[in-house]
């Protein structure tokens, strides 16, 4: 039996989708193969996201922003789009799910507190997805 797989996508592939993939790796302990990509990849990883994940025990420090691999999008079990900025154009046969996350900065929350709130919301969703994929 092959292990379940998921592709997380956001716009820059520097924060949210990288966080989701690293959290899935952490939560699943390798039982789920996770990937991340961006519709408009940035040039470097979000250092605030790296620090926030490290505080939770997960690691995305070696992540690098990368574009979407259309072949991979066809092969994974799930494609999750994080946020509203990324709008990949896929073959209609590829079912996607969108996770719109709360943006704490809209309420004046910034810095590490903002990043930790985003991390915690994504972590909750990742845990739910892990259980869906492995039950």
d(C-alpha 132, C-alpha 43), whole Å: 33
Consecutive sets of 10 residues in the chain, 135 residues long: mean pLDDT of each?
92 97 97 97 96 96 95 96 93 91 94 97 98 94
Number of domains composing the chain: 1
Choose among 114, 93, 118: nearest CA to 105. 114
Domain that holds residue 111: 5-134
pLDDT of residue 1: 54
Measured over the CA atoms of residue 104, residue 80, residue 19 and residue 46, the dihedral's sign is: negative
pLDDT of residue 90: 85
d(C-alpha 65, C-alpha 116), whole Å: 20
pLDDT of residue 92: 85
pLDDT of residue 9: 98
Read off φ and ψ for residue 24, nearest 5 degrees.
Answer: -65, -40
d(C-alpha 42, C-alpha 24), whole Å: 22
CATH for 11: 3.40.50.2300
pTM value > 0.85: yes
CA 127 to chain centre: 12
Residue 122 C-beta-side C-alpha neighbours within 13 Å: 30
């Amino acid at each position: 039996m092959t292990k379940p797989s998921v592709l997380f996508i956001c716009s820059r592939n520097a924060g949210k989708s990288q966080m989701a993939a690293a959290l899935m790796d952490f939560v699943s302990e390798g039982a789920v193969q996770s990937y991340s990509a961006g519709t408009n990849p940035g040039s470097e990883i979000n250092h605030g996201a790296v620090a926030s994940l490290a505080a939770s025990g997960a690691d995305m420090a070696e992540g690098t922003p990368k574009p979407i691999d259309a072949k991979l999008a066809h092969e994974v079990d799930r494609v999750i789009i994080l946020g509203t900025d990324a709008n990949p154009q896929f073959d209609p046969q590829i079912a996607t799910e969108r996770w719109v996350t709360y943006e704490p900065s809209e309420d004046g929350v910034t810095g590490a507190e903002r990043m930790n709130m985003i991390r915690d919301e994504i972590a909750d969703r990742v845990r739910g997805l892990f259980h869906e994929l492995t039950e």
